[in-house]
Amino acid sequence: MQPKIVVAGGGFAGLEALFYLRYKLGSGADLTLVSDQDYFLFKPNTIYIPFGEDPEKSKIPLARPVLKKRITFWPGRAVGVDPYSRKLLLEHAELPYDYLVLATGASMRAQEVPGLCEYACTLWTPEEMLRLRHQLQQVVERAGEGRKQDILFVVPPNNKCSGPLYELVMMIETWLQRKKVREWVQITWATYESSYIQAFGPRLHTVVSEEFADRGVEGHTGCLVSEITPDRAIFHDGSSFHFDLLVSFPPYAAGQAYADLPVDSRGFLKVEPDSRRVKGQETIFAVGDASDFPIKQAFLALLQGDAAAESIAAEIQRRVPAEKMKFEPMSMCVMEEMNKATFAQVPLRYTDDPERPVVVDDEDTEHYKVGVSPLWRGGKKILGYYLPWRFSNGEPFHAGFAWDLMDMGLKVMSKVMAD
């Protein structure tokens, strides 16, 4: 009898775990994927949709990789787990498992800020990005008629991934320049963070401050939004900003509730840091945005998928998990600005402070690297081809000769174009 491994969620973390398991175990495991979508959405590329990119280009159908890797695909939603009888509960069925990987991601709680659902252009899905495209076109039309426009960006508390909103403010600023209406548009930024893109530490704060100064963006930190009216964002200290267009990335919560498993105050599954094993559970793992790691990012989701899959594969093969596959929190991203991009590799470390369980290890100067250059846009494009190519072939991001090449390329680029 082959061990039965079920993965719930076909995003970065779930697919990485699934394809790594097949890569490591070959035919020695029976793999099932449960997903409520029949495609993988490459979210980092959805930032191009407001500027004309076809939303379908960010979707990679799952049919090919699951067929190629002999994975059973079960369309539908996971709604819970019965850890006692080892079953994943679906809407109309139950799936028994020997090992379970929960990778059902996060969801948006725009309703936590009164008025945000009604009056803001939010980002999360391709549909929301299309709405932003439409609203931006209207801003350009009005500005073209000589009418002053205010675009306001707001990061509310409990947003766990502000990076894409920083990308959009820079991209929109570049785009308005190209549309020759920039002088008619005031751009204001208000974030709850105490520094810009706080999760990436002081060096990114400096980069963003300089960009905002160069681009004439009025930036504010430490702004706790309390309410949105049809044309103003109101903050806890009583201050407010007017907007014609409000763009915001809402607060995060878990994508799926799991009643019988340990979760934090926002429903994220509590796990052992190295292996991503759910606390108190021998055979259940949680990876990516669904788990309690406080920074939600694709690169971190891939690392977590690898760590969980390696722990499972090692148990099945009766060996010790490879040390290098343990989850070591190291964040990496390339922030698009449309005329250049910012690369950041950011070492993180755990603390004993429950308020800030993870901080940037800014003393680790060997690994903390930042670079700004138009050439980094090429780096982002390459990553944007590499990962969909790997996943569409049922291969994990971080494995094999292709990854060795990619890793070498990234190291060379970061040596030459970052410090």
Tokens representing residue 324 in the block: 């290098």
d(Cα 392, Cα 231) in Å, to the nearest integer?
44
d(Cα 140, Cα 402) in Å, to the nearest integer?
43
Indicate the residue among 29 and 78 with the shorter CB distance to ligand FAD. 78
Tell me: does residue 301 bind ligand FAD (CB under 6 A). Answer: yes
- CB of 361: closest distance to ligand FAD in angstroms? 18
- CB of 44: closest distance to ligand FAD in angstroms? 3
Tokens representing residue 192 in the block: 């709850």
d(Cα 211, Cα 87) in Å, to the nearest integer?
51
Nearby residues of 216 by Cβ (< 8 Å), 6 or more positions away = 187
- CB of 225: closest distance to ligand FAD in angstroms? 19
* From 122, 297, 311, 342, residue interacting with ligand FAD (rule: CB under 6 A): 297
Tell me: does residue 11 bind ligand FAD (CB under 6 A). Answer: yes
Instruction: Report the Cα 70 to chain-centroid distance in Å.
Output: 28
Tell me: does residue 384 bind ligand FAD (CB under 6 A). Answer: no
* From 126, 219, 255, 379, residue interacting with ligand FAD (rule: CB under 6 A): 255
Q: Which SS3 state, helix, strand or coil, does residue 342 take? A: strand
Binding segment (CB under 6 A) for ligand FAD, from list 203-211, 289-297, 315-323, 353-361: 289-297
- Binding string to ligand FAD for residues 16 to 55, with x set by CB under 6 A, is what? ------------------xxxx-----xx-xx--------
- Binding string to ligand FAD for residues 124 to 163, with x set by CB under 6 A, is what? x------------------------------------x--
One-letter amino acid identity for 312?
I
* From 299, 343, 368, 391, residue interacting with ligand FAD (rule: CB under 6 A): 299
Q: How many residues does the chain have?
A: 419
d(Cα 390, Cα 263) in Å, to the nearest integer?
32
* From 10, 329, 347, 394, residue interacting with ligand FAD (rule: CB under 6 A): 10
> How distant, in Å, are the alpha carbons of 68, 207, 211, 243 from that of 247?
41, 21, 19, 10
d(Cα 198, Cα 206) in Å, to the nearest integer?
11
- CB of 62: closest distance to ligand FAD in angstroms? 9
Tell me: does residue 379 bind ligand FAD (CB under 6 A). Answer: no
- CB of 379: closest distance to ligand FAD in angstroms? 12
- For residue 192, the tally of other CB atoms under 10 A from its CB is 20
> How distant, in Å, are the alpha carbons of 132, 185, 190, 209 from that of 216?
22, 10, 14, 10
- Binding string to ligand FAD for residues 213 to 252, with x set by CB under 6 A, is what? ----------------------------------------
* From 18, 20, 71, 104, residue interacting with ligand FAD (rule: CB under 6 A): 104
d(Cα 225, Cα 234) in Å, to the nearest integer?
6
Tokens representing residue 191 in the block: 């974030």
* From 333, 348, 399, 413, residue interacting with ligand FAD (rule: CB under 6 A): 333
Q: Which is it for strands 30-35 and 4-8: parallel, antiparallel or unpaired? A: parallel
Tokens 């009583």, residue located: 238
* From 288, 347, 379, 396, residue interacting with ligand FAD (rule: CB under 6 A): 288
Q: How many residues bind ligand FAD (CB under 6 A)?
A: 35
* From 60, 139, 154, 298, residue interacting with ligand FAD (rule: CB under 6 A): 298
Indicate the residue among 107 and 240 with the shorter CB distance to ligand FAD. 107
One-letter amino acid identity for 143?
A
- CB of 46: closest distance to ligand FAD in angstroms? 5
Indicate the residue among 5 and 8 with the shorter CB distance to ligand FAD. 8
d(Cα 367, Cα 206) in Å, to the nearest integer?
18
- List 189's β-bridge partners, or say none: 153, 219
Chain residues that interact with ligand FAD, rule: CB under 6 A:
8-14, 34-37, 43-44, 46-47, 77-78, 103-105, 123-124, 161, 164, 255-256, 288-290, 296-299, 301, 333
